[in-house]
Structure formats: structure tokens, C-alpha cells
Structure 1
Amino acid sequence: MDFKSLAIETLVDPASAARRMLIRQFGTDVVWTGFALCVVLTVLLYAVQGYLLGVPSNGVFPMLSAPAFGVLLVSLQLAFTFCALVVGRWLGGQARFVPYLGLLVWLRFLNIAVQAVAIALIFVVPPLAIVLNLISAIYGFYLLLHFTNEGFGLASLAKSLGVVLMAGLGAITTVLLLMGLFVPAILETSNV
């Protein structure tokens, strides 16, 4: 598969790109390897940005170390995928875990590329980096809607919006519940 043409197709015609990826049917090992690589690259960007700029890279959880950020990222991504499956099926869609995770992994790779460009732009033209981040966040949401729509076969961007919003809330709730269960236990054992 030509990743450059797939990236261009994703940006120009996201529904067609999602269908192309679903037809390709990437194996479970490929999807999980891609997922692991996405996590490693995202954590690396998080650490590099924190080192270069001297500030934490995550505004929501500013005091996270790079490994803790990685655990949070894995938890959120997997929780989002599971919640999307539940909500998507409830709304009449059909999807399996691995193919849908594969679509999300591809979108994450594109996001990583944009983040790397934005980090470089901070040192050249900082306002342009801010604009790029804003545009990529909005357009990334648009891409996610199309990929979710195709992944579940919903034939409705409104239903796709419902899946994304409810899955996002479900993922955040799940991670906060897990943090409530495990963080106090970790703090007790670390003598803090």
C-alpha cells in the first residue's frame, strides 16, 4: 500500500480512504504493531516538545511524565475504541474491533506527522504553528467522523457524530474511574 497516496486520499476524500483501508483488511498483528508505534511516537513527541520548549506538552494533565502520558494515551485510545463499538452497534452500525482500531491508528499517524511539523514551526513561525494546530484539530475531527461513518456503515454523519461524542465521554469516564481505583493505591505504595 502506498502510504503517500493514502494520506492524500485521506485528506481529499476521507470516506474513500476509509473504505480502501477496510477492503485491505490489515491483519491483527499489523494493527497492534501500528498502535504500539503510534504510542511510542506520540510519547516521543511529548517528551521532545517538553524538552525543547521547557514546558509540559499536555495542557490537560501538565505534570505527567512521558511514561505516564503513554499509559494515559493507551487507556484513552482503547477505551474510546471499545465505547465506539458499543455506541456504534447501538445506533445500528456494524464494526469489528481490529478494523476500526486500524482506522484510528492511521488517523493517529497523520496527526503525529502534523504535530512534528507544528513543533518545527514553533521555532520558525510560532503563530503559524498555532494556526496549524487549530486547523488540524478541526479537520482531524472531520476525518474521524468520516472514518467512523465508513467503519460502522452508518450512512449518516449525524450518527457518526453521536458515536464519536458518546464514545469520547465514555472513554474519559472509564479512564477517570480507573485512575480513581489505581492512583490512590500507587500513591500508598510509593510512600508519598
Structure 2
Amino acid sequence: MTPSFLRDLAVLTIKSPAEASRVLLGLNVPREALWTGLALVAVLNGLLFALTNLLVPGPSPLPEVFLVPSLYTVLVAGGLLLSIYALYWTGRLMGGTGTLDEIMMAILWLQGLRVVLMVIVIVLIMTVPALSALLVFAASIYGLYILVHFVNQAHRLNSLPKSAGVLVASTAAILLGLTLLISLFGGPTSGLSANV
């Protein structure tokens, strides 16, 4: 894949997400390359997170333990894996026929674009902060639209509402799973007296 091909595919992703996802899924990238891509995306996220903290220090919504770049990288990798498997299984339960590799390819491509967006946002934070906030908001909304198309193509659902349902169901499954894990491993329980 040449830089010009990646650039053209990025533009196509913005202009026509469904067509871009069909091109992407037709590449048949080997599974080993996908796992390497996942690690690369996680590391790049960690580096950009550390750079952002250096350039614009301030309060973070994350617990302090995750402010260490290496732990943040592990958190990103774990979140990506959870998302990929949740989208795969919920899509299959809703009649989708996509493979795990296809879902992984779609998510990794979108995460790669997110890394590029983060670089642009960091530059804007240092130059035009108001524009950076607007870009993040617009990219978040439009990113969901793109993701719905990518899931639709990867699972061959032929229905954007059904694809949106897969996203909602997978998000609910992730939240439920995380809630169960937190409760199993002694997370905080609200409303219970310490003497009970």
C-alpha cells in the first residue's frame, strides 16, 4: 500500500464510507498484519496521549494510574480488542456474516484515521484552540456515521439501521461486561453502608 493509495482511501472514507469500506475489505490483509496494526495503533495513541499531556497539561477524566503512557497504551489496546470482539459477536447474532478479520480491518483503519486526526488536533490546540474543539466534535459525530457504514459493509447487513443496532448492542454488551468485572473484583458499590 503506497502513501498515495492510503491518502486516496482516507479521502474516499470521508466522501463515501460504504465504497471505502468495500475497497478496504477487498485487500485481504493477513491476520498477523492486523495484530501488528493493532499494536501500532495502540502505541501511537499512547505516544500522542503523552505528547498532549506535555503540551497541554491539565485535569484528565481518567484515573491517575492510566496517565502513565505505557498503561494508557495497554488500555487502548484492550479497548480496541473489546470493541472488535463485541462488534463481531453482536453483528453475528443480528444476522451479519462478517469475519473477525474483516471487523478488525475496519476498526483498525478507522483508528489509524483517528491517529491522523489527533495529530491535526494537537497542532490546532497549539494554534487555534477553538477550532480544535469544533473539529473534535464534528469528527466524533461524522465518525459514528462512517462506523455505521463500515459495520454494515463488514457484516453484509444491507441495512444502516440494523448496523446502528449492532453498534448500540455492542456498546451495551461492553458496558455490561465492564460493570460485571468491576463488581466481581471489588469495585465501589454505591448506597451500601461500610458496616453491612
Give yes or no for TM over 0.5. Answer: yes
State whether residues 37 and 108 of structure 2, in contact with CA within 8 Å, keep that contact through their aligned partners in structure 1. yes
Q: CA RMSD in A?
A: 1.7
Matched, 1:166 2:179: no
> Where do 5+ consecutive residues of structure 1 fail to align?
185-192
Matched, 1:144 2:147: yes
Please give the secondary structure, in 2, of the residue aligned with 1:159: helix
1:8-87 residue pairs with structure 2 within 5 A? 8-56=11-59, 58-59=60-61, 61-63=62-64, 64=66, 65-87=68-90
> Where do 5+ consecutive residues of structure 2 fail to align?
188-196
State whether residues 87 and 103 of structure 2, in contact with CA within 8 Å, keep that contact through their aligned partners in structure 1. no
Shift of 1:175: 3.6
Please give the secondary structure, in 2, of the residue aligned with 1:33: helix
Q: Which has the larger radius of gyration?
A: 2
CA distance in 1, matches of 2:168, 2:36: 27
CA distance in 2, matches of 1:183, 1:24: 44
Shift of 1:177: 3.8
Distance 1:145 1:13, change over 3 A: same
Q: Which moved more, 1:86-95 or 1:144-153?
A: 86-95
Partner residue in 2 for 1:97: 100
Superimposed CA distance per residue, residues 50-74 of structure 1 (whole angstroms, 9 cap, x where no aligned partner): 1111125x53x25222222222222
Distance 1:177 1:47, change over 3 A: farther
Distance 1:160 1:38, change over 3 A: same
Shift of 1:180: 5.1
1:136 partner letter: A
Moved over 6 A (4+): none
CA distance in 2, matches of 1:171, 1:72: 14
State whether residues 21 and 153 of structure 2, in contact with CA within 8 Å, keep that contact through their aligned partners in structure 1. yes
Partner residue in 2 for 1:122: 125
TM-score by length of 2: 0.86
Distance 1:7 1:152, change over 3 A: same
Partner residue in 2 for 1:187: none
Shift of 1:181: 5.1
Shift of 1:13: 0.7
Partner residue in 2 for 1:188: none
State whether residues 7 and 110 of structure 1, in contact with CA within 8 Å, keep that contact through their aligned partners in structure 2. yes
How many residues are matched?
A: 182
Distance 1:50 1:176, change over 3 A: farther
Shift of 1:178: 3.9
Superimposed CA distance per residue, residues 95-128 of structure 1 (whole angstroms, 9 cap, x where no aligned partner): 1111210110000010111111111101111100
State whether residues 154 and 160 of structure 1, in contact with CA within 8 Å, keep that contact through their aligned partners in structure 2. yes
CA distance in 1, matches of 2:49, 2:186: 22
Please give the secondary structure, in 2, of the residue aligned with 1:24: coil
2:14 partner letter: L
1:140 partner letter: G
